[in-house]
Amino acid sequence: MATMKGLAMLGFDKIGWIEKEVPEVGPNDALCRPLAISPCTSDVHTVWEHAIGDRHDLILGHEASAEVVEVGSLVKDFKPGDRVIIPAITPDWEAVESQAGFSQHSYGMLNGWKFSNSKDGTFAEYFHVNQADGNLAHLPDEISAADAVMLSDMVPTGFHGANLAEVAYGETVVVIGIGPVGLMAVAGTVLRGAGRVYAVGSRKRCQEVALAYGATDLVNYKDGDIVEQVKEAQHGKPVDKVILAGGGLETFDQAVRMVRPGGIVANINYLGTGEYIQIPRVEWGLGMGHIRIVGGLMPGGRKNMEYLAQVLVNKRLDVGRLLTHRFSRFEDLEEGLLLMKDKPRDLIKPVIELTS
């Protein structure tokens, strides 16, 4: 049996390199080898915040671009040697939840999230992709392997926030949290035609990139209550939409205090700790304010990836701005993941673009 190397969660708070068997490929599946990989804040929630419970020798990672190495006998549109985009979320497309439009939850809550959750992830020399025809997307030549990794999770998650918020022309939107996910929410919000866009974060580098993506106002949560800061800038007028992409459970309370009747609070943040979310009764219109609170896991799948790739191919979005720390060796993954955990102030996103 051939074996491969991978960076794994060994248990709570512990990561390490392990050797495992190369995964077997079923008739509809593919085996891929990464061309570029990126660690994610979600990997940090998994290992160091214990968000999904204990895991032993689970290979981490869900963001990669890749080359197809092997396909199952029933795979129609992909063959060995193809360059592909790997969505972080790889649903079971036949499930009733998928047919109902919520493929993220195929066969149960969040079950579309398989990499580094219910099976080994992309931090390996090889990884398995279920339902290759539905979940892989061909990577256009115009997109580099490093940029393509941002199509796995950062672009689809941030844009999902803008979609959940149903951002419309001219609207005023607050994006709370401007790490890579929030920055993609800013970019998606601007592409959907928002007017004024407030970006909430404290790191200067992220603030600069938020402005480059089209944010009009910066709010630093370390300078005092963000509700007061936004209200002051708005001369008391509520905003149309709030997208949550950082901070803790308190952000729901803050968002409801800022948004207008009939507005939307859209969460794409992964709530790694805490128990209950509190909603302020009066500002929620005594329960009758038509303020919608929604939250969603990014949609995966081939169609979504192919369409998002066109946003890059046609130069509507430069994801290169997110890639602040670049590495070239597989072994550098560990440093990349620890950077994601420690969040130095100049970090947005590390990427490991493999050269051989």
28/98 with CB nearer ligand NDP? 98
Q: How far is the CB of 48 from ligand NDP (least distance, A)?
A: 12
182, interface contact from ligand NDP, Zn ion, none, CB < 5-8 Å by kind: ligand NDP
Q: How far is the CB of 143 from Zn ion (least distance, A)?
A: 18
Q: What is the largest CA-CA distance in the chain?
A: 67
Residues 8, 57: contact at Cβ < 8 Å?
Answer: yes
126/270 with CB nearer ligand NDP? 270
Residues 186, 210: contact at Cβ < 8 Å?
Answer: yes
What are the DSSP calls for 137-155, one per residue? Answer: EE--TTS-HHHHHTTTTHH
Question: Which residue matches tokens 């795979």?
Answer: 75
Q: How far is the CB of 117 from Zn ion (least distance, A)?
A: 11
Q: Site residues (CB under 6 A) for ligand NDP?
A: 40-42, 45, 153, 157, 176-182, 200-203, 206, 221, 245-247, 268-270, 297-298, 343
Which one among 8, 9, 40, 173 touches Zn ion, defined by CB under 5 A? Answer: 40
196/205 with CB nearer ligand NDP? 205
Say how far apart CA 91 and CA 89 lie, in whole Å: 6
246, interface contact from ligand NDP, Zn ion, none, CB < 5-8 Å by kind: ligand NDP
110/233 with CB nearer Zn ion? 110
Q: How far is the CB of 116 from Zn ion (least distance, A)?
A: 9
Q: How far is the CB of 144 from Zn ion (least distance, A)?
A: 19
Q: How far is the CB of 85 from ligand NDP (least distance, A)?
A: 15
Say how far apart CA 94 and CA 106 lie, in whole Å: 8
DSSP 201: -
Which one among 97, 153, 240, 353 touches Zn ion, defined by CB under 5 A? Answer: 153
Q: How far is the CB of 41 from Zn ion (least distance, A)?
A: 7
149/164 with CB nearer Zn ion? 149
98, interface contact from Zn ion, ligand NDP, none, CB < 5-8 Å by kind: none
Burial grade of 54 (CB within 10 A; 0-12, 13-18, 19 or more): exposed
Say how far apart CA 38 and CA 42 lie, in whole Å: 11
Neighbours of 236 (CB within 10 A): 7
Q: Applying CB under 5 A, which part among 32-40, 247-255, 274-282, 330-338 lies near Zn ion?
A: 32-40
End-to-end Cα distance, the chain:
23
Burial grade of 141 (CB within 10 A; 0-12, 13-18, 19 or more): exposed
Total residues at the site for Zn ion (CB under 5 A)? 3
- Show the CA angle centred on residue 341, arms to residues 340 and 345, nearest 5°: 65
Assess 322 for contact with Zn ion (CB under 5 A).
no
Helix (H) or strand (E) holding 129: strand 127-129
177, interface contact from ligand NDP, Zn ion, none, CB < 5-8 Å by kind: ligand NDP
Q: Applying CB under 5 A, which part among 37-45, 77-85, 188-196, 212-220 lies near Zn ion?
A: 37-45
Which one among 7, 34, 42, 122 touches Zn ion, defined by CB under 5 A? Answer: 42
Burial grade of 298 (CB within 10 A; 0-12, 13-18, 19 or more): buried
The residues of the shown chain that bind Zn ion, judged by CB under 5 A, are 40, 42, 153
